[in-house]
Amino acid sequence: MVNTPHGRSNKNNNDLADFESMLDLSGNITSSVVPRWQRKQQRQAAAAAAALNNGNAGVDRFIPSRQASESLDQSIDTSVMSNRDGDTDNDYSRLLQQELQPDDLNNSRVLAFKKKAPEAKDGYQNSLKILYSQQTGAKKDVIKPSRHIPSAPVRILDAPDVLDDYYLNLLSWSSTNNLAVALSQSVYLWDASTGSINELMSLETENDYVSSVSWIQQGGSHIAVGTASNQVQLWDVQAQKQVRSMDGHSARVGALAWNNHMLTSGGRDNCIINHDVRVQNHIVGKMNYHSQEVCGLAWSPDGQFLASGANDNTLCIWDAASSLTLDAKPRHALCEHQAAVKALAWSPHERNLLATGGGTADRSIKFWNAQSGALLNSIDTGSQVCALQWSPFEKELLSSHGYAENLLCLWKYPTMTRMKELRGHTSRALHMATSPDGSLVVSCAADETLRFWNVFGPEGKKKGEHQIGSNPGLSKSGKLSIR
C-alpha cells in the first residue's frame, strides 16, 4: 500500500510533538496525585461541614465555655454556609480566633475548688517532720507569752567546784524553802527566806564526792545524800547530824527520789533499790532491768508509778506494788530515745502524763501515757536536754539544755510552741529545781553559777521576790556566795 510509509511518518511526527510539549515548562504542570496541603484542606472542610450537620459535635472540645460554643455555632451557620464555594478552611480558622479571645480563656476555669482545703487543728504537728529532723540547734519561732517573763535572772549565786557531770543530780529545793546544793565533797543549804548559808556535811575521803541530793517531800526536815563511795546517807537538817547510812549499791549513787517514807536510789551499777527508811532492813525492793548507769528517777504525784532513765537510752515505768520485790520487772520498757534519759517530770495537771528528755544524740522531749506506755508526742529541741520542770499554775514545761545552746526554754503544752528562751549560762544547765510556792526556778550550770528565774510566777504578784532574803551572808568556807 502507498500510504503505509506516509502513515508511519505522521505517527512519528505526533510522537515528536508530544515529546516537545512535555519539555515545554511555560504551562501548568498537572498530576493525578493530589498535593498534601490540598488533602489537608479538604479534610478540614469536610470536618467543618460535618460539624454543621451534627450540631455541636466536634466543636465543644475546642471551646472552654458553653456560651462561647453557642455564639460560635451561630457564626458558623451564617458565615461558613455563605462561603461554601470559597476558602472554607480560612473562614473557619478566622472564626475560631475571634471566638477564643484571651479574656474568655482567662475568665473560664475548667477545674476549680469551690471550697478551700480545711485548716489543720490548733497545735497539730507533723510527726514525720520531727522524726527526720537533722538540724542541730534549729531556730524556731517564739510566741509572745500572755504575761511578762523577765529575761534576766532575779539573782545569781556562785557555786564553785560544782561537778560538770551529766549523770549526777546535785540540786534540790525543800518544802521549807531551803535549797540544797552539792559542791564536790560538801552539801550546802541556802535558806531562801533569810539568805543564810550553812554547810550540812562534807566527805572526808579524798576521792569521794557527793553525787546526788534529794529532800524528803513532807516537812523538809530530812535530806538524802548519795555518794561516789556507793552509800546513801540520811541527814536530819535540824539536828545537823547523819541519821543513818544505807548500803546496797556497788557503784556511785547518782539518782534519788522520795515516795512518802520510801527512798529510791539508782546507781552506776545499773541497779535501782527501794529503801524503807523506817525499818532496819531497809532494802524492800530491787530492780535490775537497766544495762547501764541509772541517772534519772521520779515518782508520780499519786505514788502509783516510778519512772527511771538510764545511760542505756531506755525509759522504764514501774508499778509501785511490783517494785517492792527483789526481782521486779518494769510495766513498760520504752526505747524511743536515742541517748541517755536523765530528765524526768510528771505533770501536775494530767494524771499519768510523763515528760522525758534525751541527751546529746537525741535532743528530744517526749510525752508518755504511763498507764498504757503510749508515746503521745515528741519534739526536737536542738540541744541536749538536761532537766525538766512543770509549772504548777499553767500547762507549761521548762527545759534546761546543754550542748549546744546552754539555755532554758519555756514551752506551751500541748502545742509545744516556744514561749520564752532564758539565756545567761555559759555552760550546760545541768540541774533545775522549783521553789515551794512554784514561782521561782533555779538552774545550776557547769559555769559554777546558780541563777534564779521568775518564770512561773503570775503577772503582778511576783511571788518569788519575797522568798529571797536581802542579806544572804556567807558561809565560813565561802563555797556558796551571793554575786
Let me know whether 475 and 331 are in one domain: yes
The set of cell numbers assigned to 170 is 546535785
Separation between Cα atoms, residue 298 and residue 43, nearest integer Å: 87
Let me know whether 71 and 153 are in one domain: no
State residue 216's pLDDT score: 95
| Overall pTM surpassing 0.75 (yes/no) | no
For the ranges 21-25, 371-375, 402-406, the lowest mean pLDDT is seen at 21-25
Let me know whether 390 and 470 are in one domain: yes
Chain segment 181-221, per-residue pLDDT in tens: 999 999 999 999 999 999 999 999 989 999 999 999 887 79
Confidence class of residue 458 from pLDDT cuts 50, 70 and 90?
low
Confidence class of residue 88 from pLDDT cuts 50, 70 and 90?
very low
Let me know whether 264 and 405 are in one domain: yes
Would 15 be classed as within a structural domain? no
Let me know whether 357 and 452 are in one domain: yes
- Domain extent for 61: 43-82+89-96
Which has more confidence, 376 or 100? 376
State residue 247's pLDDT score: 95
| Angle, CA of 49, 52 and 55, to the nearest 5° | 145
Would 130 be classed as within a structural domain? no
Let me know whether 77 and 148 are in one domain: no
The set of cell numbers assigned to 83 is 462561603
Would 201 be classed as within a structural domain? yes
Confidence class of residue 125 from pLDDT cuts 50, 70 and 90?
low
Let me know whether 300 and 192 are in one domain: yes
Can you tell me the mean pLDDT for 83-102? 49
Let me know whether 156 and 66 are in one domain: no
Let me know whether 246 and 333 are in one domain: yes
Would 25 be classed as within a structural domain? no
Q: Is the pLDDT of residue 471 over 50?
A: no
Let me know whether 61 and 153 are in one domain: no
Can you tell me the mean pLDDT for 422-440? 96
CATH code assigned at 463? 2.130.10.10
Would 284 be classed as within a structural domain? yes
Give the end of a domain, one of 96, 126, 161: 96
Confidence class of residue 52 from pLDDT cuts 50, 70 and 90?
confident
Q: Which residue has the cell 493530589?
A: 34
Would 449 be classed as within a structural domain? yes
Q: Is the pLDDT of residue 146 over 90?
A: no
| Angle, CA of 242, 247 and 250, to the nearest 5° | 135
Let me know whether 226 and 368 are in one domain: yes
Average pLDDT taken over every residue of the chain: 82
Would 180 be classed as within a structural domain? yes
State residue 331's pLDDT score: 97
Would 126 be classed as within a structural domain? no
Separation between Cα atoms, residue 258 and residue 265, nearest integer Å: 9
Which residue type occupies 264? Answer: T
Domain count, the chain: 2
Separation between Cα atoms, residue 360 and residue 382, nearest integer Å: 9
